[in-house]
Amino acid sequence: MHLTDFTPPQTSAPRSAFELAIAYHSPALLNHVVRSWLWAEAFAAKEGRTDLDHELLYVSAVLHDIGIVPAYDNVALSYEEAGGHVAVALTAGAGWAADRRQRALEVIVRHNWTSVDPAMDVEGYLLEIATGIDISGSRADTLPEEFVREVLTAYPRLTLAEEFGDGVQDQAARKPTTSAHRLVENGIADKLRHHPHEEF
């Protein structure tokens, strides 16, 4: 397994989603969303999953945290739901059908679930695992170490621990009924600081 095994879909929605991510994410957050897509695709390959929508997975991965940045921080909604609505708007502009636009929202919202049944939502399942790998360190040792090193060299973590930790704590304080509060209560800041990939 190598970094070159995975290529972003070259269609309008993925290209536009990545342009939006570049425009609004810090370098650390941008690397995080790209790594999340790579971990998701790698996990799909590891499990032999061929029943997935790669375009949907990519768009959802690169936009899954855009609701945490100031420009898209919703006054009431959780950051993942806010990000999901950004994906709905973007994919509407790309001509996606209404049900597929809704899928982008669902995948992004479900990435913050504690677990997702792949039989119900394979893209949501993969993104939940991928973001768990990159944020909390769960299953961090399940992908080939050489591949992990290759990805982290190309897309280093930079200041992700501080930025993401601060962002989630801010969201939790302002929106205590959202998943951000659960993440804070479950020690997300400590998990980020002691993430096994910080040692690479």
| Tens digit of each residue's pLDDT (9 = 90 or more) over 17-26 | 999 999 999 9
87 confidence band (pLDDT: 50, 70, 90):
very high
Element of type H or E holding 120: none
pLDDT for the residue 186: 85
Cα distances from 157 to residues 29, 66, 76, 81, 196, in angstroms, run 8, 17, 29, 24, 11
The domains found in the chain, sorted by start residue, are 3-156 (1.10.3210.10)
Q: What six digits make up the tokens of 166?
A: 């601060």
| Tens digit of each residue's pLDDT (9 = 90 or more) over 112-170 | 898 999 999 999 999 999 999 999 888 888 899 999 999 999 999 999 999 999 998 99
